[in-house]
Amino acid sequence: MAEDSQETGNVPAGHMSLLHETDQSADEKMSHHDDSKQLPALAPGPPQADCRFDPTRDLRRKVAVKRTIKELSDYKDLLETLLASIRSDPQEKLYELIELIRNNGSLRDIARSVGNPVTKFTDSETLSRASLATLSEFEDIKPRRRSEPDLIPTSPEEEYPRESPRAKFHPYARVALETLCDIPLFKVPARPWTEVTDDSDFVSHLVSLYFTWDHPCAQYLDQKIFIDHMKRGDTSSQFCTPLLVNSLLSMACVYSDSPDAFFNLEDTFSRGQHFLQEAERLWAAQRGRQTLPNIQALLMMCSVLLSQGEIQQGWFLLRQAAQMGQDMGLLMLPRTVNPFKEYIGFAMPSASELSDDEVKRKDGDEGSILHQMEHIRTITAWGIFNLNSVTSLPPPISKVSMGGDADFEWTPYPRLNKITYAPKLARLPQLRQGMAELTDILAHIQELLHDQSLASSIQALSAMAEAPYERLRQWLANWPDPLQIEKEPTPQVLILRIKCHQAIMNLLEMMIQRDSQGSMTQKLQQEWCQQVAEMAQCFRIHRQAYGLKYIPSQVVDAVQSSLRILVHQLEIEEVRHAFVEFCRFGMAMSRTFTPTADAIYAIQSLAQRGVVMLPPEAIAILEGFDFRGGQEA
């Protein structure tokens, strides 16, 4: 064994981790080893080599850290939800919660009781030991910066500062460990698409956020075609351009707390402004060029501006997009009176617009450029139509065909509450159809709202409003009700229901205001309260399933407008309960969206002046709100 020991001593230090202690049985076997046969060296290398082990490349540690982060985040989420419930829940529910805790209820039962997404909680002592072990592994490790290849091995003096100066005074400057373990749904390159950053991981993170939370109820472009062309990195693509990418990244930043998502870390509303400025620069360089990606980019830039309360600028971009769509033949007159029985086609691109290879492809080929162009033209046209109505502009009279039935699996990203979600269908084709039908009804309601001839008679107004009201009721009946959605909730389906409830509320509100004699007010008020309660139920389902960190931008108007209306109806019990739920969403969204921050500030001002008396639950939720930062103090 002496020769074995000497031979082992020649093994480079960098490979010592491969040698393990053997048990007694192994020692007995080795005792029969022939000393005349020397063991070969594990690998050539200079003696006394300096061992430098990079723990960040040890996948075992990475898995352990990720698991520990997951468990700690689960407990943190439960604690925050528990405290929020203690502050805002009714007394009866609070008694039930305390009784459950006193009876040694499991953490899963407590989480379910307070509406926190249920997670597999591990034993707290086990978690504590794992956390301490993980932290002790890394506390003595110093970060090193990358060196040039010819400078390897790296000098231990080459170090990055542990923390940037900005991180010392702003919470968003600190990168969470869960961010480091994040795995985006889509892997796409940053260059050559944007000059704002060259971090492909960050861009992939933003693209994944956009297609998870914003795209399903916006659908200005085709998800698969856009991702495929972005991966290619060809800036001459007909379906993906730097202007479109920067516009999309600007919208996606509202869902990210990464320091790179902020233009100014001191301004919580500056998310995505650097990408928006880059998009505006690229749009100016286009000089009004009419292309599908340019229209899609304008629609996204419009959405960003509207979500930040820049209404006039958003309308201006939307008018440009609508005019370009009209000039390109995307919006044309329908063939039939009922546009939802048959849709007219649209002008296809001429051969001069396509390359020779593209012209040679068959029109019926699913992968052909003509098929892709037809599909994207349809989606873009409906994107203009839907957003046009949302912003209260005159809706287009033209109807376009609904094309494409491809769907994708949907799963929440990132999995902040750490639940293993079963993938669900995104239902993108059904959502396009539903949005088109709903938008057409909303356009009809807009006409009623601005028809001054109906102001003289509530009977005449009631007769005129009957048609859109019944259409809205029928629309709701065609979609899953809240009890069905609660079994397999998806945000996009909830959002469509919320939009429909909001439309019914607006219609009823208009009729109540014009009922000067009060002959129908009581009946209308009852129906209005029912719609408020059902809308609040949709919000509650979203909160219990996905929390309050990721809320699609399409509900900004529903939240802020409902808060401003409900605050004056708090004497009604149903309204009071719904108002508390809206306050939860308003507070969460006030950190990102200016309109909701303005609404929360207005409500606080009314309460401070004694104009309204807020419920104790709402006061607890709104307490500490700092309007200047749009967040809790």
- Residue range 72-113, pLDDT digits in tens: 777 777 787 788 778 777 777 777 888 788 777 777 778 777
CA distances from 41 to 29, 32, 292 (A): 20, 20, 64
CB 194 within 8 A of CB 297: no
Q: How far apart are CA 305 and CA 269, in angstroms?
A: 11
CB 577 within 8 A of CB 536: yes
350 burial (CB, 10 Å; 0-12 / 13-18 / 19+) is exposed
Query: Which tens digits make up the pLDDT trace of 411-432?
Result: 899 875 455 677 888 998 889 8
10-residue block means of pLDDT along the chain (633 residues)?
A: 44 41 45 45 46 50 60 76 76 79 79 63 48 47 40 41 41 59 91 96 97 94 95 95 98 94 91 97 95 97 93 92 88 44 35 41 53 84 80 44 71 70 85 88 80 67 87 94 88 95 92 78 91 96 92 95 96 95 95 94 93 94 62 43
Q: How far apart are CA 257 and CA 248, in angstroms?
A: 16
Q: The pTM is what? A: 0.70
Give the model's pLDDT for residue 386: 87
Give the model's pLDDT for residue 419: 54
Structure tokens given for 336: 């039939």
Domain boundaries of the chain, sorted by first residue:
1-53, 55-144, 177-390, 412-547, 551-633
Instruction: State the sign of the Cα–Cα–Cα–Cα dihedral 270, 599, 627, 540.
Output: negative
Give the model's pLDDT for residue 50: 52
CB 400 within 8 A of CB 331: yes
Report residue 424: phi and psi, to 5°. -120, 160
Give the model's pLDDT for residue 550: 93
576 burial (CB, 10 Å; 0-12 / 13-18 / 19+) is middle
Any idea what the Cα angle at residue 440 is, between residues 438 and 442, rounded to 5°?
70
Report residue 509: phi and psi, to 5°. -60, -40
CB 197 within 8 A of CB 189: no
> Who's near 346: CB < 8 A, 6+ residues apart?
329, 330, 332, 374, 377, 378, 381, 400, 401
Task: Detail the DSSP E strand segments found in 19-70.
Answer: none
Give the model's pLDDT for residue 583: 96
254: number of Cβ within 10 Å: 27
Query: What is the enclosing helix (H) or strand (E) of 626?
Result: strand 625-626
Coil, strand, or helix at residue 440?
A: helix
624 burial (CB, 10 Å; 0-12 / 13-18 / 19+) is exposed
Query: Which tens digits make up the pLDDT trace of 344-389?
Result: 333 333 333 444 444 444 344 445 777 788 888 888 988 988 887 6
Mark 582-594 as b/e (b = at least 16 C-beta within 10 Å): bbbbbbbbbbbbb
* Angle, in degrees to the nearest 10, between helices 242-252 and 273-286: 160
Any idea what the Cα angle at residue 298 is, between residues 629 and 627, rounded to 5°?
10
* Angle, in degrees to the nearest 10, between helices 491-514 and 556-566: 40
Long-range contacts of 312-315 (CB under 8 A, 24+ apart): 314/391, 315/391, 315/393
Q: How far apart are CA 270 and CA 293, in angstroms?
A: 25
Give the model's pLDDT for residue 226: 96
Q: How far apart are CA 607 and CA 612, in angstroms?
A: 5
Q: Is the peptide bond before 153 cis (omega within 30 degrees of 0)?
A: yes
CB 381 within 8 A of CB 326: no
Q: How far from chain centre, in Å, is Cα 484?
A: 23
CB 549 within 8 A of CB 540: no
CA-based max dimension of the chain: 113
